């Protein structure tokens, strides 16, 4: 199974600060169809996960553009440019290139 390693496990930020989360894959997530199925999700406390970014860098509809994704093959990054209070929660990367789908262990974002 593909292992996704997220760092850091926890992140503390002030409002307006920019932060980045790293997700490294144990194998390339480039699919034979040319797409890379690496997504980012946010789970706010007590809520269901919410899709933020799909296929590395595509912003899901309705998600603020302070969120951005980048990377390729095995190294990926989620950046939040100007953290807001509503961004607190646990961020997960997940891959859908290889079965079974797998998730990273999560990065908890706290607001100082």
Partner 1 sequence: QIQLVQSGPELKKPGESVKISCKASGYTFTDYAMHWVKQAPGKGLKWMGWINTYTGKPTYADDFKGRFVFSLEASASTANLQISNLKNEDTATYFCARWELDYWGQGVMVTVSS
* Interacting residue ranges for partner 1, rule: CB under 8 A: 39, 41, 43, 48-51, 54, 60-61, 90, 92, 94, 96, 99-106
Exposed / middle / buried, residue 38 (Cβ in 10 Å: 0-12, 13-18, 19+): buried
83 vs 96, beta carbon nearer partner 1: 96
* Least separation in angstroms between CB 4 and partner 1: 10
The Cα–Cα gap between 91 and 76 comes to 13
2 vs 13, beta carbon nearer partner 1: 2
* Least separation in angstroms between CB 93 and partner 1: 11
Query: How many C-beta atoms lie closer than 10 Å to residue 50's C-beta?
Result: 14
25 vs 39, beta carbon nearer partner 1: 39
Strand 38-43 and strand 10-13: the pairing is unpaired
């Amino acid at each position: 199974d593909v292992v996704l390693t997220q760092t850091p496990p926890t992140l503390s930020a002030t409002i307006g600060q920019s932060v980045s989360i790293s997700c490294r894959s144990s194998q390339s997530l480039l699919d034979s169809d040319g797409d890379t199925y690496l997504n980012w999700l946010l789970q706010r406390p007590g809520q269901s996960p919410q899709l933020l970014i799909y296929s590395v860098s595509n912003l899901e509809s309705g998600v603020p553009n302070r969120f951005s994704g980048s990377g390729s093959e095995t190294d990926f990054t989620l950046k939040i440019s100007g953290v807001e209070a509503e961004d607190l929660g646990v961020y997960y990367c997940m891959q859908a290139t290889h079965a079974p789908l797998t998730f990273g262990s999560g990065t908890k974002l706290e607001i100082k």
